[in-house]
């Protein structure tokens, strides 16, 4: 299902969790192309780019999604991304594997936010 947002987003989640960051980047990019107003795909892409040792590209994507979150008045994710940008810059001083736990935790936060959103929409649809 190459044209289905949820499939591509979850594929990015799975690939990122298994440290296939290049594959995760491609899946998140496909998801973002399908729903460009959904910022989580860009966050996943940015964190995965950093995992693939492409820090400058990562920072560009995260800066772009930070603006999207600001425009959408999504203060929580605007703040999270702003912090991520600063942390990525700080990690530049250390060996790449120093930030493994950071990447793992941030990709987990992206997954958990997505799942929470899906269940909230589902519950609203059921009028619970």
pLDDT value of position 8: 97
pLDDT at 119: 74
Above 80 in pLDDT, residue 1?
A: no
Q: Show the tokens assigned to 114.
A: 């997505």
Q: In angstroms, rounded to a whole number, what is the distance separating the alpha carbons of residues 113 and 68?
A: 17
Report the pLDDT value the prediction gives residue 128, as an integer from 0 to 100.
60
User: Has residue 122 got a pLDDT over 80?
Assistant: no
pLDDT digits (tens, 9 = 90+) for 75-112: 999 999 999 999 999 987 888 888 888 888 999 999 89
- 17-68: pLDDT as tens digits: 999 999 999 999 999 999 999 999 999 999 999 999 999 999 999 999 999 9
Q: What is the pTM of this model?
A: 0.87
Angle value at C-alpha 102, between 93 and 32, nearest 5 degrees: 105
Select 5-126's CATH number: 1.10.600.10, 1.25.40.10, 2.160.10.10, 3.30.70.260. 1.25.40.10
> Using CA atoms, how far apart are residues 65 and 44, in angstroms rounded to an integer?
11
Domain boundaries, the chain: 5-126
Question: What was the pLDDT predicted at 115?
Answer: 86
Higher-pLDDT residue of 43, 122: 43
């Amino acid at each position: 299902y190459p044209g289905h947002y949820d499939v591509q987003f979850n594929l990015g989640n799975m690939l990122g969790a298994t440290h296939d960051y290049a594959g995760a980047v491609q899946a998140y990019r496909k998801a973002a192309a399908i729903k460009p107003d959904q910022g989580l795909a860009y966050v996943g892409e940015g964190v995965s780019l950093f995992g693939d040792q492409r820090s400058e590209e990562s920072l560009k994507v995260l800066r772009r999604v930070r603006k999207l979150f600001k425009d959408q008045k999504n203060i929580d994710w605007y703040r999270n991304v702003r912090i991520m940008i600063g942390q990525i810059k700080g990690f530049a001083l250390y060996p790449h594997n120093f930030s493994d736990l950071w990447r793992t935790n941030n990709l987990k936060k992206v997954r958990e936010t997505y799942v929470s959103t899906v269940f909230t929409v589902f519950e609203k649809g059921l009028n619970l």
